[in-house]
C-alpha cells in the first residue's frame, strides 16, 4: 500500500518543481458507459491517483503552493445518502480531508464559485490540456471570469504549462513502496501464467485460459487485468493485440498469452508462449529459442547508464541474424537492419516503461537523444517473432508461428532485476511444468 506520507511526499516534490506563484489542476477520470445506464468498473486516472490516492470520479485536485489555508485542495462529490444506497460510499469533503489528507475540500458543485478565486493572481497554471475537453472549456471560462473583473484589479494567469512533463518525470522513478507492489503484481501474474500452462490442453478455448489467468489474479486481490488479456492460439499469436480470445486451441499449435494483473493501480505485463499439447515441435523450438536468446540479451542490457534503445537494438540484431541462419530472411545482417527487413517478422519495439499505466508515462528521449537508463525505472523486454500464415516467402512449416516472451525489469544498481521471473521460460522448463 502507498501510505499517506508517500502521497504527501509526491505532492511536495511536484510543488518543488513548479515555478513560483503557480497552481496545478488535475481532473479525475470520468465514468465510462458500458451500455445504457451501466458503467465499466471505475478506474481513477493514474496522475490523479498518484498525487492523492483518491478513488472517486467527479473530482478535481488543486495544488496551490503558498496558499494560507493549505496547498492541497480537492473538489469532490458531496455525501448523498440516497445515491450512496445505490452506488456506494462517497468520502464527501469532510471525509476527503480526514482520509486523504486534503487541507481543504469542497463540493464539486461549488467549483464555479471557488476556482476563479484560486486562479486569480497566479502567474502560471500547470494543467494537462486536451485530456478532458469539457473541463478545458470550464477552465477557460473561469479565466474569462477573472478577466472580466480586471477593472477591479483582478489578474488572470498569463501562462498555461503542460503538467504532464513534470509529473511524468516523477512517475518514471519508482519508490521502494511502488516496487514492493510491482514485485507482488509480478508474482501474482507469473503464478497465473503457470496455472495456464498446467491446465492447458487441446480442445480448450482461448477464453477458458483467460478465465484461469484472471481467476488467479482476482483470488490474489488483483481484481482487474492491467489491460485486455491476450490469449492467442496458433496464428492468432501473430496478431499483436489479439483480444477476441474465442478460438479453440489446437493440438500441435502454440498459444501466446500476454496478461498481467493490476494491483493497487500498478501493472504487470508478462507474455509467455507455450505448446498447447505440452511439447514444442522442431520449428516452434527453433523460433522460440531465438526469441529467448534475444530476450535474455535484451534484459542484460537493462543497466544503469545504457540508453533506452539498447535492449531494442540488441534484440533486433540477434533476431535478424537468427532468421538469416534459419533461412527465413535472405541477405546481409547490416543491410537487413538498415532496410528494416526484419520487420516482416519483428514489427514492434522491444519494450516500454511500466508502472501505474501498462504503457507508462515518461519521456524516451531527452534533447532528441535516447534517454539513459537510471536506477528505479521499470521497463518491459518483449521481443517476438511472428510468421504470418500468409507469408509465402517461407516454407509452409514455419507459417503461423507467433512467439513473444515478455518480462518486467527493474533497473537497479545491482543490475537488472526481473520482476516476473516466476514463470518458466526455457522450452525444457515449460515442457517439464506442463508434463506435471
Ligand atoms: N500488453 C501490451 C504490451 O505488451 O505492450
Ligand atoms: Mn504485454
Ligand atoms: Mn508490454
Segment 269-297, tens digit of pLDDT: 999 999 999 999 999 999 999 999 999 99
Nearest Cα residue to 76 out of 98, 51, 54? 54
Q: Which of 185, 226, 227 to mutate for ligand 1's pocket (most ligand atoms within 8 Å of CB)?
A: 227
For the question of residue 37 being annotated catalytic, the response is yes
Calculate mean pLDDT across residues 372-376.
98
Calculate mean pLDDT across residues 321-344.
98
Calculate mean pLDDT across residues 154-170.
95
pLDDT band for position 108 (50/70/90)? very high
Is the CB of 227 within 6 Å of ligand 1? Answer: yes
Pairing of strands 124-127, 22-27: parallel
Catalytic residue among 67, 79, 348, 349: 348
Is the CB of 357 within 6 Å of ligand 1? Answer: no
Alpha carbon distance 313, 236 (integer Å): 26
Q: What's this model's pTM, rounded to 2 decimal places? A: 0.97
For the question of residue 104 being annotated catalytic, the response is no
Domains, in order of start, for the chain: 4-170 (3.40.350.10), 173-435 (3.90.230.10)
What pLDDT, on the 0 to 100 scale, is given for residue 177? 98
What pLDDT, on the 0 to 100 scale, is given for residue 286? 98
Kindly report the average pLDDT of the chain as a whole number. 97
Three-state DSSP class for residue 343 = helix
Segment 117-137, tens digit of pLDDT: 999 999 999 999 999 999 999
What pLDDT, on the 0 to 100 scale, is given for residue 21? 96
pLDDT band for position 201 (50/70/90)? very high
**296 membership: H or E segment, kind and range:** helix 282-300
Calculate mean pLDDT across residues 241-252.
97
Q: What percent of the chain has pLDDT over 90?
A: 99
DSSP string, 112-136: HHHHHHHHTT-SEEEE-TTSSHHHH
Q: Among 127-131, 178-182, 257-261, which is the least confidently predicted range?
A: 127-131
Structure-block grid coordinates of residue 67: 496558499
Pairing of strands 407-410, 402-404: unpaired
Q: Which of 186, 189, 269, 357 to mutate for ligand 1's pocket (most ligand atoms within 8 Å of CB)?
A: 269
For the question of residue 364 being annotated catalytic, the response is no
Alpha carbon distance 426, 397 (integer Å): 22
Q: Which own/partner pairs from 1-8 qualify as long-range (CB within 8 Å, at least 24 positions apart)?
A: 1/177, 1/181, 1/264, 2/53, 2/177, 2/178, 2/181, 2/264, 3/177, 4/53, 4/100, 4/101, 6/175, 6/177, 7/51, 7/52, 7/53, 7/100, 7/101, 8/101
Asked whether the CA dihedral 283, 285, 286, 287 is positive or negative, the reply is positive
Alpha carbon distance 124, 88 (integer Å): 37
Alpha carbon distance 57, 45 (integer Å): 9
pLDDT band for position 184 (50/70/90)? very high
Three-state DSSP class for residue 39 = strand
Q: How far, in whole angstroms, is CA 16 from its chain's centroid?
A: 26
Q: What percent of the chain has pLDDT over 70?
A: 100
What pLDDT, on the 0 to 100 scale, is given for residue 293? 99
Span from the CA of 73 to the centroid of ligand 3 (angstroms): 35
Span from the CA of 406 to the centroid of ligand 2 (angstroms): 6
Amino acid at each position: 500500500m502507498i501510505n499517506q506520507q508517500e502521497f504527501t511526499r509526491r505532492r511536495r516534490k511536484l510543488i518543488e518543481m513548479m515555478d513560483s506563484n503557480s497552481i496545478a489542476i488535475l481532473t479525475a477520470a470520468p465514468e465510462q458507459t458500458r451500455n445504457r445506464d451501466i458503467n465499466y468498473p471505475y478506474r481513477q486516472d493514474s496522475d490523479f491517483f498518484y498525487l492523492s490516492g483518491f478513488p472517486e470520479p467527479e473530482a478535481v485536485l488543486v495544488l496551490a503552493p503558498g496558499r494560507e489555508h493549505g496547498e492541497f485542495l480537492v473538489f469532490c462529490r458531496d455525501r448523498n445518502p440516497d445515491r450512496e444506497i445505490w452506488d456506494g460510499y462517497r468520502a464527501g469533503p469532510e471525509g476527503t480531508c480526514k482520509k486523504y489528507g486534503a487541507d481543504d475540500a469542497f463540493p464539486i458543485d461549488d467549483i464555479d464559485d471557488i476556482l476563479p478565486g484560486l486562479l486569480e493572481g497566479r502567474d502560471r497554471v500547470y494543467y494537462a490540456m486536451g485530456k478532458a475537453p469539457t473541463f478545458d472549456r470550464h477552465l477557460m471560462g473561469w479565466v474569462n471570469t477573472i478577466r472580466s473583473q480586471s477593472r477591479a484589479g483582478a489578474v488572470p494567469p498569463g501562462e498555461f504549462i503542460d503538467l504532464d512533463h513534470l509529473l511524468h518525470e516523477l512517475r518514471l522513478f519508482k519508490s521502494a513502496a511502488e516496487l514492493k507492489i510491482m514485485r507482488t503484481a509480478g508474482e501474482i501474474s507469473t503464478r497465473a501464467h503457470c496455472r495456464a500452462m498446467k491446465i492447458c490442453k487441446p480442445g480448450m478455448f482461448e477464453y477458458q485460459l483467460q478465465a484461469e489467468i484472471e481467476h488467479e489474479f482476482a483470488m490474489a486481490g488483483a481484481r482487474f487485468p492491467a489491460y485486455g488479456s491476450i490469449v492467442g492460439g496458433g496464428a492468432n499469436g501473430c496478431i499483436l493485440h489479439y483480444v477476441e480470445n474465442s478460438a479453440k486451441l489446437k493440438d500441435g499449435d502454440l498459444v501466446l498469452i500476454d496478461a498481467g494483473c493490476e494491483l493497487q493501480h500498478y501493472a504487470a505485463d508478462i507474455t509467455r508462449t507455450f505448446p498447447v499439447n505440452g511439447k514444442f515441435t522442431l520449428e516452434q523450438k527453433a523460433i522460440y529459442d531465438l526469441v529467448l536468446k534475444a530476450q535474455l540479451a535484451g534484459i542484460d542490457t537493462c543497466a544503469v547508464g545504457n540508453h533506452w534503445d539498447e535492449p531494442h537494438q540488441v534484440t533486433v540484431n540477434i533476431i535478424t541474424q537468427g532468421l538469416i541462419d534459419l533461412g527465413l530472411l535472405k541477405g546481409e545482417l547490416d543491410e537487413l537492419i538498415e532496410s528494416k527487413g526484419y520487420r516482416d517478422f519483428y514489427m514492434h519495439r522491444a519494450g516500454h516503461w511500466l508502472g501505474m499505466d501498462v504503457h507508462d508515462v515518461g519521456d524516451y528521449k531527452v534533447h532528441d537523444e535516447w534517454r539513459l537508463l537510471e536506477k528505479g525505472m521499470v521497463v518491459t523486454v518483449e521481443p517476438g517473432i511472428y510468421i504470418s500464415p500468409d507469408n509465402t516467402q517461407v516454407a509452409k512449416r514455419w507459417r503461423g508461428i507467433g512467439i513473444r516472451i515478455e518480462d518486467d525489469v527493474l533497473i537497479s544498481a545491482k543490475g537488472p532485476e526481473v520482476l516476473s521471473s516466476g514463470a518458466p521460460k526455457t522450452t525444457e522448463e515449460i515442457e517439464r511444468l506442463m508434463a506435471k
